[in-house]
Amino acid sequence: MAHVIRKAFGLDEASPLRLPDEVVIYNTESTGAVHAAMKSNARYHCSEYFGPGFKGGEMVNGVRHEDLQNLSFEDNALDLILSSDVLEHIPAPYRAHAEIFRTLKLGGKHIFTVPFDPSSPADDCRAELHGNQVRLLKPALYHGDPIRPGEGILVWFIFGIEMKQRLQAIGFEVQTLYLHAPKRGIIGDGAIVFVATKPFNAA
């Protein structure tokens, strides 16, 4: 992801992830390598999801709480949103994408990764939310949770081509980047990064 951020903002490959002071950045995580590299930026925000009992923007143990399905940021507030393997853990990911679209400035970008199967026309929905009850449609998959290391976090979706179509329907221009840069440690077939841009002519 750092490679894509540098290219999007015209930074040299060896340079720090330091963007111009006027760029408003929102990282949907408060841990990890990208957070560590970008947290010194002047207008950098980060968050975690702590559960339904907290309000968007509330601080929990020194970390901002946000529900990506109902962000507390104002319309057209953000230049860059980052999410790394986050959206598959949300029961309504396209509601989250719509919120991301709302909060991005014109020309703003959401750079993100998700589990993605380019051979699948449709998303693989593995669970649904009925009221407060989780209904599993397929055997449960869990990823590690850096905020709750003793617990796993449920995978609701593995995405397919449908994802790009639905993002375009929201209004995004979508790029799919298949990265291969061995000198930067980017190898293998799974290095896929998406860039969803809010067009300058968006309503």
pLDDT at 64: 98
pLDDT at 82: 99
pLDDT at 143: 86
Q: Which residues of 171-191 are buried (b: 16+ CB within 10 A; e: fewer)?
A: bbebeeeeeeeeeeeeeeeeb
pLDDT at 65: 98
pLDDT at 191: 85
Indicate whether this model's pTM tops 0.85. yes
Delineate the domains of the chain, giving CATH numbers in brackets: 2-118+159-197 (3.40.50.150)
Helix or strand or coil: residue 168?
helix
Q: Which parts of the chain register pLDDT below 70? A: 145-150, 180-190
The gap from C-alpha 170 to its chain's centroid, in whole angstroms, comes to 16
Contacts for 9 with CB less than 8 Å, ≥ 6 apart = 19, 20, 23
